[in-house]
């Protein structure tokens, strides 16, 4: 894994194919949080796990997967999203943990 201390705000994040994945907002634990204002983000914060980083160059974080693979795998945090309801956590109708 690349040196996490070399990752800085506003660095470009690129796939192994050189394509634009996003722009670093900040590190969030073991993930890179991408800015939601980046054209690739569709208004949502996206997350890339640090295990996906191949190297850090002078002005870019380069991933060990292609742009398409990274976008298929990234986590999403919707801005202003409502908390998840019980149905999304397996407690929907017919579930043994569902209430009356």
| pLDDT surpasses 80 at 90 | no
pTM over 0.95: no
Domains in the chain, start-ordered, CATH in brackets? 4-79 (3.90.50.10)
For residues 66 and 19, is the Cβ–Cβ distance under 8 A?
yes
The string of pLDDT tens digits covering residues 4-61 is 899 999 999 999 999 999 999 999 999 999 999 988 888 889 999 999 999 999 999 9
| pLDDT surpasses 60 at 91 | no
**Which pLDDT belongs to residue 42?**
85
| pLDDT surpasses 70 at 92 | no
């Amino acid at each position: 894994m690349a040196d996490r201390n070399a990752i800085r705000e506003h660095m470009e994040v690129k796939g192994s194919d050189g394509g634009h994945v996003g722009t670093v907002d900040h590190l969030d634990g073991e993930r890179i949080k991408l800015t939601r204002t980046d054209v690739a983000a569709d208004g949502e914060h996206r997350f890339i796990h640090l295990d996906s980083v191949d190297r850090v160059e002078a002005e870019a974080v380069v991933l060990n997967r292609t742009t398409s693979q990274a976008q298929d795998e990234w986590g999403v945090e919707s801005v202003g999203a409502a908390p998840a309801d019980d149905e999304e956590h397996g407690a929907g109708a017919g579930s043994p943990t569902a209430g009356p």
